[in-house]
Structure 1
Amino acid sequence: MDSLIGAAAHALAAGDPLAALKRVALRDDPPALALRGIAMAQLGDLARAKILLRAAARGFGPGEATARARCQVAEAEIALVSRDLGTHMETLGTARATLDAQGDHANAAHAAYLEARRLLLIGRIDQAEQRLGKIDPAILPLASRTGYWLVGAGIAMRRIRIGPAREAIARAGRAAAEAGIPALAAEVRAASRSLEAPAARLITRDDTRLVGLGEVEALIGSNILLIDACRNAVRAGAAVVPLASRPVLFALVRALAEAWPGDASRPALLERAFRARDADESHRARLRVEIGRLRTALRPLAKVAATRNGFVLVPNRAARVVVLAPPVEGPHDAVLALLADGESWSSSALALALDVSARSVQRALEALAAAGKVDRVGRGRACRWMAANVPGFPTSLLLPGPLLRG
């Protein structure tokens, strides 16, 4: 490695891309192209960065597998930042294995951290935790170590474990301070704000208010019957009845919970579960069937008793009944929850994260764009989507679906 390449690499590690470019901006050899690509990525010109990194990878010879793998890792990191979470991330595992085999354990660990970060973004929490658990943070560069702890904090927050999340953010803050890179410190501050910000609404018959993750954790561990509309489940302490695949039953139990300790009328239940404002005998018969199914599903936690007016929820042991709902509910709220991070997402990445078809996501984005809630950036394959107004709370923290399945 010549002195200019070494000095440029040191500047990039310190978060100073302009100093790196001063040393290699006029060179077109593969190592210089790779460093220029990383510098352009740090400056935000991701399109130019990808071109430079691909040119560098092509320029390295057959005996330079390590250098080529480093370029692949850098390009995958750009794809991650661009929320291009599908095809462009597929080479990351191969690059990690190559770096490990060549003895470049620090960059191999960085690649593994990027894999964990991608898994977190698409809601595969168990897999992200497993990947992160195989990394020794001590061998990571300081910048990557900050990201490692932030991914750990993200996993803890999505599992609603506030103590581990705070500890991970504190460790990320120490690593960022040691690295001395302002952008990393800003990431840590953003994660800390997410931890303290409202994450859900607590709904009872008489009141609705915003709650943070700390209060959500306390609610889950308390002696209450919690109707979790974030994850479509009914909880009482450690006991959980999942209803994500049974939307009619969940609609009924939520309506009953919002009316508790009173009863919910039959017309109200018909409208909530079946959108039947003018119910006929077939609707009423179906309601009786679904109430029977709900009684069976909730038997470990509660009873559903008939009243003269309708039905009432009777907890087995819980002291009270509350509903936990997302901060904002409406059409396509899951898409908006992911876009709430302020980044630009591809429609394919949104489909991957939500575990739905690309066409379903495209229809949702078109509807949100018509309502002025999202903006389109670019066209064709370069098209990305952003929230028109970023909400002041991290609604993705309690998303249902893939975030639970891991």
Structure 2
Amino acid sequence: MDSLITAAARALAAGDPLGALNRVALREDAPALALRGIAMAQLGDFDRAKALLRRAARGFGAREMVARARCIVAEAEVALASRDLGWPAKALDAARVVLEEHGDTANAAHARYLAARRLLLIGRLDDAEQALATPDPALPPALRAAHALVAAGIAIRRLRTGPARAALVRAGQAAREARIPALMLEVESASRVLAAPAARLIARGAERPLLLEEVEALQDRPALIVDACRHVVRGAGATVTLATRPVLFAIARALAEAWPGDVTRDALVARAFRAKEADESHRARLRVEVGRLRAALRSLAGIGATQRGFTLVPRAAEVLVLARPVEERHAAVLAFLADGEAWSSSALALALGASQRSVQRALDALAASGKVQGFGRGRAQRWMTPSVPGFTTALLLPAPLPE
């Protein structure tokens, strides 16, 4: 490793991509191409970064397996930063194996954290937790911060605020030790999730925002909870899932929001069937759906008929509705775009478990109302919220620094 490559690598480790480019911008050898690719990624030019890293991998040749593996890991991180979640995970796993076999524990650990972070983004929490091995205290501070951020993300999604706070504290300490501004900003952004409203509580006609720790505390409350975030009804140790039965859930939520009062038949028809005017066919269908809901909730609550409509008769002492902080037709898409990163429609579809065409229609509707903006064309098109700045993650060095 010559002096310019070493100096450029040190500049990247300190979060100075321009300083790195000043040293290797005119060079075409494989180590310089790899460093240039990482520098371009830190500057936000992900397409150029991917092209440079691929050229570097080809330039290292078949005999330099470790260097090629490091380039593959770096390209995987660029793909993750650009929310290209369809990037082949098998290639990353193969690169990790090569790095482990050749004793490059730091880059192997980084590959493992990238795999866990991808699994976290697409909602596979069990797999992400399994991929997240115990961190080695000897690892560089930036990698320890990355590990703690993934651990915090898993804890947040599992509604474990105590472990999430502890992980974020560890991430903050490691980021300050690493002295990488972008990493410190990423930890700060993740920490704000715990101080922002995570849901709304609706009870007896009133509503108030809830922090994540308050949502966690709600899980142990002896009440009948209609959870509009997950489309389930739970209470007394039992949970009834209505995610695939939207009409039943709409009726259950309407009854829960009105409890201890009742809901008129016309109001239930409008809520469940989105009908402007209720006719006799709507009322007949409502009776059928209420019967189905009564059967589904029989272990948790009953549904009584009143002169005007129907009322909920819970087994618990109170009825609560847990709703999303912002509710609109495409709230789930907005929730993913709120991280400030640029997402492709295919990545959003993978994360949401929806069809890409449905996601594209949602993005077009949100763009028409000015809530999101797109840039690029075709498969290179990316979407993001216009008001939230994004920060590129600190990227992997293609080779360990000399002592």
2:273 aligned partner: 274
1:95 aligned partner: 95
2:210 aligned partner: 211
Distance 2:134 2:56 in 1: 28
2:349 aligned partner: 351
- In the TM superposition, what is the alpha-carbon distance from 1:173 to its structure 2 partner? 0.8
AA matched with 2:385? A
- In the TM superposition, what is the alpha-carbon distance from 1:18 to its structure 2 partner? 3.0
- In the TM superposition, what is the alpha-carbon distance from 1:363 to its structure 2 partner? 1.1
Is residue 377 of structure 1 aligned with residue 375 of structure 2?
A: yes
- In the TM superposition, what is the alpha-carbon distance from 1:43 to its structure 2 partner? 2.4
AA matched with 1:376? G
1:296-375 map, 5 Å: 296-316=295-315, 318-375=316-373
Moved more, 273-282 or 191-200: 273-282
- In the TM superposition, what is the alpha-carbon distance from 1:89 to its structure 2 partner? 4.8
- In the TM superposition, what is the alpha-carbon distance from 1:390 to its structure 2 partner? 4.3
Change (3 A) 1:112 1:237: farther
Is residue 11 of structure 1 aligned with residue 33 of structure 2?
A: no
Greater relative contact order (Cα 8 A, min sep 6): structure 1 or 2?
Answer: 2
Change (3 A) 1:139 1:289: farther
SS of the counterpart of 2:129? helix
1:182 aligned partner: 181
**Residues 118-166 of structure 1, C-alpha deviations (whole Å, 9 max, x = no match):** 111122222211111x353435432122121111111111111111111
Distance 2:114 2:208 in 1: 36
AA matched with 1:270? V
**Residues 260-307 of structure 1, C-alpha deviations (whole Å, 9 max, x = no match):** 011111111111111233323332222222112211211222111222
**Residues 41-77 of structure 1, C-alpha deviations (whole Å, 9 max, x = no match):** 2222222222211110110121111111111111111
Change (3 A) 1:390 1:6: closer
> Residues 203 and 209 of structure 1 are in contact (CA less than 8 Å); yes or no, is this contact kept in structure 2?
yes
> Residues 109 and 139 of structure 1 are in contact (CA less than 8 Å); yes or no, is this contact kept in structure 2?
no
Distance 2:234 2:161 in 1: 19
> Residues 4 and 24 of structure 2 are in contact (CA less than 8 Å); yes or no, is this contact kept in structure 1?
yes
> Residues 135 and 147 of structure 2 are in contact (CA less than 8 Å); yes or no, is this contact kept in structure 1?
no
2:384 aligned partner: 386
AA matched with 1:130? Q
1:128 aligned partner: 128
1:398 aligned partner: none
- In the TM superposition, what is the alpha-carbon distance from 1:10 to its structure 2 partner? 2.8
SS of the counterpart of 2:233? strand
**Residues 7-45 of structure 1, C-alpha deviations (whole Å, 9 max, x = no match):** 332332232323333332332211111112112222222
- In the TM superposition, what is the alpha-carbon distance from 1:95 to its structure 2 partner? 1.6
1:109 aligned partner: 109
Q: How many residues align?
A: 389
> Residues 79 and 89 of structure 1 are in contact (CA less than 8 Å); yes or no, is this contact kept in structure 2?
no
- In the TM superposition, what is the alpha-carbon distance from 1:205 to its structure 2 partner? 3.4
**Residues 63-111 of structure 1, C-alpha deviations (whole Å, 9 max, x = no match):** 1111111111111111111111113555222222222223222211111
SS of the counterpart of 2:137? helix
Distance 2:302 2:37 in 1: 62
TM-score w.r.t. structure 2 length? 0.92
Is residue 45 of structure 1 aligned with residue 34 of structure 2?
A: no
Distance 1:358 1:199 in 2: 27
SS of the counterpart of 1:138? coil
- In the TM superposition, what is the alpha-carbon distance from 1:259 to its structure 2 partner? 0.3
Moved more, 270-279 or 86-95: 86-95
Is residue 69 of structure 1 aligned with residue 69 of structure 2?
A: yes
**Residues 146-196 of structure 1, C-alpha deviations (whole Å, 9 max, x = no match):** 121111111111111111111110110111111111221111111111111
Is residue 234 of structure 1 aligned with residue 233 of structure 2?
A: yes
* Structure 1 residue runs without a partner (length 5+): 392-406
Moved more, 378-387 or 252-261: 378-387
TM-score w.r.t. structure 1 length? 0.91
> Residues 227 and 323 of structure 1 are in contact (CA less than 8 Å); yes or no, is this contact kept in structure 2?
yes
Moved more, 300-309 or 76-85: 300-309
AA matched with 1:116? A
SS of the counterpart of 2:84? coil
Moved more, 357-366 or 84-93: 84-93
AA matched with 1:27? R
Distance 2:40 2:353 in 1: 33
Moved more, 251-260 or 319-328: 319-328
Q: Give every structure 1 segment of 4 or more consecutive aligned residues whose post-TM-superposition deviation is greater than 6 Å.
A: none
> Residues 197 and 212 of structure 1 are in contact (CA less than 8 Å); yes or no, is this contact kept in structure 2?
yes
Distance 1:180 1:278 in 2: 63
AA matched with 2:204? R
- In the TM superposition, what is the alpha-carbon distance from 1:237 to its structure 2 partner? 5.5
SS of the counterpart of 2:50? helix
AA matched with 1:178? E
Distance 2:127 2:105 in 1: 21
- In the TM superposition, what is the alpha-carbon distance from 1:112 to its structure 2 partner? 1.0
AA matched with 2:353? D
1:396 aligned partner: none
Distance 1:390 1:221 in 2: 34
